[in-house]
């Protein structure tokens, strides 16, 4: 029931992004520019999706880890992959002291699961199993694809607003300039607010997928307690370790947001608050 609800929320958010794009296109006009912006965004983001495993591994400076180096890590992931009826993903370790993990790859056959050096020294094997179940759930739920779709539409909205802005500046405001003060105000608001609205909806999609991965991971493991305990430990340890030097473009991939938001910046966070995640896991039977 919970998984179905989160799936429904995700499609609502994606529909909202698409609807916002159509509305902004109608306000700003310029059908040709709108089509070019959309095509460019699709090519850019689908290219990123297709090569996501290579790009993210390079951006995070993660290195492949062999079964000889970490037999217990392979054993945990292999057992979870078999339970989920998934291929064994490639395993990587990221050189970062902050405890965290991420998954990427366009499908289960191309999946990469990575953990930071910090998480290996903080969690017990049981807690790490809960984290890895969460990451495999992202792969099984095709969250990389959903994220790419959301990013595509969000980027298209942003580029459309910028194209319209520069078109108005360079072209003197278009044939209808000055015909309606309200039209000018609407265009100005679209330039300023469209990218922010697109980003807010994109982050909402990301938070929804994180919640679903928490639930799916707990279901895969058959116990929500290990992940709940892991999240508590990771949050406490993250406050004592330096912030990760990671590109914000990949921050949504991590188990926990590498950056901490305060005040209004929480609107732009890609992950649900810790207490909200724990409350969901408690409803799934977590003993924390």
Q: Per-residue DSSP letters for 193-236?
A: HHHHHHHHHHHHHHHHHHHHHHHHHHHHHT-SHHHHHHHHHHHH
Is 135 one of the catalytic residues? Answer: yes
Q: What angle do CA 263, 267, 269 make, to 5 degrees?
A: 100
Q: Which of 67, 126, 127, 135 is catalytic?
A: 135
Contact 270, 252 (CB under 8 A): yes
Q: What are the backbone angles phi and psi of residue 254, rounded to the nearest 5°?
A: -80, 155
- pLDDT tens per residue across span 114-169: 999 999 999 999 999 999 999 999 999 888 767 666 666 666 666 666 666 666 66
Q: Domain for residue 70, yes or no?
A: yes
Domain total of the chain: 1
Contact 135, 170 (CB under 8 A): no
- pLDDT tens per residue across span 108-125: 999 999 999 999 999 999
Contact 74, 82 (CB under 8 A): no
Q: Domain for residue 128, yes or no?
A: yes
Query: What is the reported pTM?
Result: 0.75
Q: Domain for residue 162, yes or no?
A: yes
Q: Domain for residue 52, yes or no?
A: yes
Range of the domain at 268: 2-283
Q: Domain for residue 217, yes or no?
A: yes
- pLDDT tens per residue across span 11-66: 565 566 556 666 665 555 556 656 666 676 667 667 767 887 888 899 899 999 99
Question: Do the strands 63-64 and 112-116 form a parallel or antiparallel pair, or are they unpaired?
Answer: unpaired
Q: Domain for residue 113, yes or no?
A: yes
Establish how many alpha carbons lie within 13 A of residue 141's alpha carbon, considering only the half-sphere containing its beta carbon.
Answer: 28
Q: Domain for residue 288, yes or no?
A: no
């Amino acid at each position: 029931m919970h998984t179905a609800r989160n799936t429904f929320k995700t499609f609502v958010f994606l529909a909202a992004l698409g609807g916002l794009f159509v509305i902004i296109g109608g306000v700003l006009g310029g059908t040709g520019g709108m089509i070019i912006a959309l095509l460019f965004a699709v090519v850019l983001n689908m290219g990123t999706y297709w090569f996501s495993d290579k790009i993210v591994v390079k951006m995070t400076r993660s290195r492949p880890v062999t079964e000889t180096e970490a037999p217990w890590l392979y054993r945990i992931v292999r057992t979870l992959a078999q339970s989920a009826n998934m291929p064994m993903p490639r395993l990587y370790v990221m050189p970062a002291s902050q405890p965290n993990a991420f998954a990427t790859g366009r499908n289960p056959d191309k999946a990469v699961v990575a953990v930071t050096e910090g998480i290996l020294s903080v969690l017990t094997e049981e807690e790490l199993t809960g984290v890895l179940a969460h990451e495999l759930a992202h792969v099984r739920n095709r969250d990389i694809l959903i994220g790419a779709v959301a990013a595509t539409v969000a980027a298209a909205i942003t580029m459309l607003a910028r194209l319209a802005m520069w078109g108005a500046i360079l072209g003197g405001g278009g044939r209808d300039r000055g015909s309606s003060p309200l039209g000018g105000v609407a265009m100005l608001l679209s330039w300023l607010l469209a990218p922010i609205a697109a980003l807010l909806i994109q982050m909402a999609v990301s938070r929804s997928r994180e919640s679903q991965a928490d639930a799916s991971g707990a279901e895969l493991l058959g116990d929500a307690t290990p992940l709940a305990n892991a999240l508590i430990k990771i949050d406490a340890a993250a406050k004592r370790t330096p912030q990760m030097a990671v590109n914000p473009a990949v921050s949504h991939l991590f188990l926990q947001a590498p950056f901490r938001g305060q005040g209004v910046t929480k609107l732009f966070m890609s992950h649900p608050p810790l207490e909200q995640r724990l409350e969901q896991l408690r409803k799934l039977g977590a003993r924390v």
